[in-house]
Amino acid sequence: MRTLICLPFLAFLLSAQAPLADRRNTETPNTDTHFTMPHYASAAEWGARRLALRRQILMAAGLTPSPERTPLHPQVFGTIPHEDYAVEKVLLETMPHYYLGGNLYRPLKPGKYPAILIPHGHWEYGRLENQPLNSTPREGANLARQGYVALAIDMAGYNDTLQTPHEFGGAREELWSFTPLGLQLWNAIRALDYLLSRDDVDSARVGVTGASGGATQTLMLTAVDDRITASAPVNMVSAYMQGGARCENAPGLRVGTSNLEIAAMMAPKPVLLVASTGDWTSKVPEEELPAIRQIYALYGKAENLDGFYQEAPHNYNQKAREAVYQFFAKVLLHDPKWSEYHERNVAVERLQDYLALMGRPLPPEALDYDGLFAQWRELAQRQARESDPATLRENLRAAVGVEWPLHVKHISTTSAGIILWRPEAQDRVPARVVAAKGEPKGVIVFVHPGGMEAAAESPEFRQLPPDQAVIQIDAFQTGSAQAARDRSATHFLTFNRSDDSARVQDILTALAFAAEQHPDLPLGLAGVGKAALWCQLAAAVAPTPVKLYLTHGLTQPEGWSGADEQLLKDLFVPGLNRAGGWEAVKRLAR
């Protein structure tokens, strides 16, 4: 008969205070949480954080691994000529058989010009909006007259870009990281490819600006694409509101971060933060601007972050546009008279005259929504098959959002019970250690979906090899670890990991604890039912060999194949399929 132990198994127990509650339950941030900028002591420390954030954004967007940059096959469906500039109606094939619409505003005089990309926000007419609070046609025309090649592009589901709705997707799409945010970020990257391929564009001078949801796109693009040399996000960057639409949120995007850090990722390049009194940017001058400027100061470039503030409702109005004109004239045109740039009156055609597809259908090979989603899934599966094991493991680990802790704190609670936790995360994993018969030949972490009390009474536990010490745990939201967790906020998974992701983390924490205490003993994992799935995923992403025990009743749910419907029911981890899915887990789990 096995014996419950604590001290004989452990090298020592730290006399430390365990968290009274698991932070993953007590702190569940959302888009309306008041965030603050973390402190960074040096540019090197921030640089490491910036790289981690970039990877997090690309993973959340489904762009790791990157889709292939297939030919754009740009098509121009007519040109609207003016005295000193022209407007072209453009269609770009940003993925095979998927088309992005836009308008190119360009000077008529030959030469090399800076480029400006203009993603739009949630205005009724998108890139065609022309009213006092926002006018992209006036903005594009003025930029062309000032000496830029400017490309205004659609959001998904607007104007010419109609192969998906704007607000699309659900839990199944989230398994594959097929989201409006990711699609729009990819469109922006490919639109930038197009701009920089043009003979009339100077690739060393590239700006991006957009308002509201277009500012979110501006933030995401500048965070992941170093080709941008100056940006002007308008009426979006806030410590109080992170973006309310699906195209501004995706699972995992802001876990442990906010738009404050994402906006700071442009440092030390020039940025203009535009804000107003009538929306969530009302405190930019006293809060967000100084917070982000701290990052610029690490580079000695505090002057490269500037702001414009006005009394106005949510907007990209003429005053805001003129502030942006002056900013770009200063940092891209290098014009000493930059402060004299103002908006000139321009002719605005009928809005339908700007459409690439006015009076014509999409190309015949264009995919519908189901076809586009199927193509995305095929891409993910092919890239996973072609990835080497190390890359596959890294991608899976990032998608699940877990780590192998460098140190696990622990404290005794009873003669047999302990609490494990990661100091930075302030999570809480109740555990119990059961001795081997004789000198242990290894350590098995044993997980039951009912927690460690159910584990102790299970026939599967009694069938484990007697020469192995066993750690039983109450994985997240099982056994004594069950607790209230408010999941009601919209975009909950943008800021918080799923319960199943947290359970995989707890298993890794227990494994890391065992390895820390007994570095010479081999590690094993065993789970019952759903817990067997958590264990297999943990074994797949662990950086050290872990033996899986899947015999003697230690099996996954009956008929398990890792199909989408099963993952949605028994192992919901957004992005899992984009990172390789269950085939990758089977390939990596030892």
Query: pLDDT tens digits, residue range 401-420?
Result: 999 999 999 999 876 799 99
Mean pLDDT of the chain, nearest integer: 95
Which structural domains are found in the chain, ordered by start?
Answer: 4-31+387-588 (no CATH), 66-360 (3.40.50.1820)
Q: Cis omega (within 30 of 0) on the bond before 65?
A: yes
pLDDT in tens, 331-380: 999 999 999 999 999 999 999 999 999 999 999 999 999 999 999 999 99
pLDDT in tens, 488-523: 999 999 999 999 999 999 999 999 999 999 999 999
Q: Looking at the predicted structure, is the pLDDT value of residue 430 above 80?
A: yes
Using alpha carbons, select from 179, 64, 170, 195 the residue that is nearest to residue 119. Answer: 195
Whole-angstrom Cα distance, residue 358 to residue 360? 6
Give me the percent of the chain exceeding a pLDDT of 90.
94
pLDDT in tens, 18-70: 999 999 999 999 999 999 999 999 999 999 999 999 999 999 999 999 999 99
Yes or no: say if 357 and 160 are a contact pair by the CB < 8 Å rule: yes
Average pLDDT estimate for 193-207:
98
Neighbours of 407 (CB within 10 A): 12
Q: What is the DSSP string of 276-337?
A: EEESTTTTIIIIIHHHHHHHHHHTT-GGGEEEEEEEEES-B-HHHHHHHHHHHHHHTS--TT
Tell me what pLDDT residue 556 has. Answer: 80
pLDDT in tens, 289-306: 999 999 999 999 999 999
Give me the percent of the chain exceeding a pLDDT of 70.
96
E strand or H helix at 75, and its extent?
A: strand 75-81
Whole-angstrom Cα distance, residue 179 to residue 246? 8
Helix ranges (DSSP H) in 147-212: 171-175, 180-197
Q: Looking at the predicted structure, is the pLDDT value of residue 12 above 60?
A: no
pLDDT in tens, 103-151: 999 999 999 999 999 999 999 999 999 999 999 999 999 999 999 999 9
Q: Looking at the predicted structure, is the pLDDT value of residue 7 above 50?
A: no
Whole-angstrom Cα distance, residue 517 to residue 383? 38
Q: Looking at the predicted structure, is the pLDDT value of residue 255 above 80?
A: yes
132: which residues sit within 8 A by CB, 6+ positions away?
317, 318
Tell me what pLDDT residue 590 has. Answer: 72
Q: Find how far residue 247's CA is from the centre of its chain.
A: 12
Tell me what pLDDT residue 558 has. Answer: 84
pLDDT in tens, 539-565: 999 999 999 997 655 678 888 999 999
Q: Is the pTM of this model over 0.85?
A: yes
